[in-house]
Structure 1
């Protein structure tokens, strides 16, 4: 169990954080990612700490490190082929130049191995299923992550990731390969949820938009600011997946309001929502939206347009009040792109949302 006192910044007294949820959010791999399909092959290596699956060449490829970082936020549902291609190319994989992809997860099997191994420039795909907390400090697991040229966090349960991987060698190694080697990283669904500097932890189950808007300090609305908080370009940022299909804009707005109430400057607090079958690819400081052929998904970049002051009411057992949230909506249209620093959109569509007595209002009757 991670040091619970580290959560105090986000507004809950320590004794509440010691409560154990009776039900965890479990998102099946098949629903979280359309290409995450088990092969039926046994693990290459199985221990009490982890299962390891290798597809391809066991020898370590050593491509030149990229000049800048790439982060992929995949919104769940059907995986976005082009986003994986972007990461592989960023790592140097193309044609005869090969790279090694590593997938880490806490449940499931080798669902991504065949799918990713078939892509151009991939020499091997290694999946590590970390079964328990001790596995996150296992030297074999760490050596596999250290060799990754592309690192991907599968869908599942983000509280398992936060609870079992925080303050372990796995977390330290992920940070190291990102910051020292510019290894491209991505995540889908729960894997996306843990990449922001602030995460919706799902420690006490998930929460719907109406419940979050009605009580921003509902016990289920637990935010964590300690796990993988140094991913480049996602400082002071929270991300959420399945945005439209699961009607999550209301809770994303509530997350953003909580972040400001609990200590992040309104100028700095940011949120990104991603539709299913859609990915945000942040290459250096520029973000583009990817989707598969015929895809209509979008990504949503939220922040406060001005100091909300007294117009921001974020209190326990009190419906949320927010005067204005600025939204930049991007699709995979050729002109749509987003500059992460400063927070500026080219192309796309901009609009405002507001919350009154716990009800979210947007353009017309549709807050998307």
Structure 2
């Protein structure tokens, strides 16, 4: 289906209200051409994968997309409208503080959205600006209403029930996390959003390029301890890769190169996780979800995995061995 989204349509100048900036492009009043469908677009950061976004736009009924961010401007909405196309309009809300998340105009835009996309940036700002607000409730209501949601980089990081909030002002690396898994650099926000199939999941991004397997294993260990359950699962997505999740929980990877989604599923407690001491965590299964794989998020099974491996952490040092 080809609908609005004509190349080089110009965005409206920035406007806004207390605590936010607002941009728009396209025909805001145009009716949605088709019905919406539940879907999640989980993007690891980097460049857009057009095939994945075409999939997502179709599930948005080719209607109106609202982009939420806490930094930046309207570049993403221009790319979505002009380069991806197939949507009636795109609106962007850039939050500057918490009060905007309870603003009636902001809430109405989000309420009326056919699809919502969380941009990259600093996920700590999302947690501080949105958690416990009316906007927070509307994001969950949007998904319950059978409408698609997506996120990239920081926007993906907050979609898991156990979300790395980066609330210490930085972005912890794997070496630091493994050296002290109970350290103050590891800040998890619990239950910020309620996404389908992600109630036991910690998400992570820019995965292979930034060597984040060690920190995700640590996040999973911390989240499992906090929840009192060894059922917590880690889900990392590479740059330039997207995991597209259908309504039934089936996920497929689209990537510009050989990117993967990484499934980390220990199902057991670490041998040592003590404040001020390095992590010991043996036999952690790691499964790669590639372009020819299918990830079933309803049970965390992978058909045709791209690879299977086992991670062993001893005295804070990670070794990943083929399985």
Q: How high is the TM-score relative to the length of structure 2?
A: 0.91
SS at the partner of 2:24?
Answer: strand
Query: Paired residue for 1:252, among 216, 219, 233?
Result: 216
Alignment of 1:316 onto 2:275: yes
Contact 1:65–1:182 (CA under 8 A) maintained in structure 2? no
Contact 2:164–2:186 (CA under 8 A) maintained in structure 1? yes
Deviations 1:188-237 (A, max 9, x none): 11001000001111000211101100100111111110311x11010110
CA distance in 1, matches of 2:80, 2:143: 20
Contact 1:60–1:147 (CA under 8 A) maintained in structure 2? no
Quote the residue 1:213 is aligned against. Answer: 178
Contact 2:60–2:115 (CA under 8 A) maintained in structure 1? yes
CA distance in 1, matches of 2:78, 2:224: 43
Alignment of 1:42 onto 2:7: no
Query: Paired residue for 1:91, among 45, 57, 60?
Result: 60
CA distance in 1, matches of 2:104, 2:159: 23
Alignment of 1:175 onto 2:137: no
Query: Paired residue for 1:82, among 51, 63, 69?
Result: 51
How do residues 160-309 of structure 1 correspond to structure 2 at under 5 angstroms? 160-179=125-144, 181-204=145-168, 205-228=170-193, 230-266=194-230, 268-284=231-247, 285-292=249-256, 295-304=257-266, 306-308=267-269
SS at the partner of 2:215?
Answer: helix
SS at the partner of 2:254?
Answer: strand
Quote the residue 1:159 is aligned against. Answer: 124
Quote the residue 2:87 is aligned against. Answer: 122
Deviations 1:53-83 (A, max 9, x none): 110002053456545x211110011122222
Contact 1:257–1:312 (CA under 8 A) maintained in structure 2? no
Query: Paired residue for 1:71, among 40, 45, 48?
Result: 40
**Gap runs ≥5 in structure 1:** 1-38, 94-98
Alignment of 1:359 onto 2:323: no
Alignment of 1:340 onto 2:297: yes
SS at the partner of 2:88?
Answer: strand
SS at the partner of 2:58?
Answer: helix
Deviations 1:148-196 (A, max 9, x none): 11110000110000011111111111111111x2111111110010000
CA distance in 2, matches of 1:106, 1:259: 26
CA distance in 2, matches of 1:263, 1:142: 31
SS at the partner of 1:107?
Answer: coil
CA distance in 1, matches of 2:228, 2:121: 28
**Gap runs ≥5 in structure 2:** 1-9
- For residue 263 of structure 1, report the CA deviation from its aligned partner: 2.5
- For residue 40 of structure 1, report the CA deviation from its aligned partner: 8.9
SS at the partner of 1:126?
Answer: strand
Deviations 1:107-166 (A, max 9, x none): 111011221113342110111112211111001101111111111000011000001111
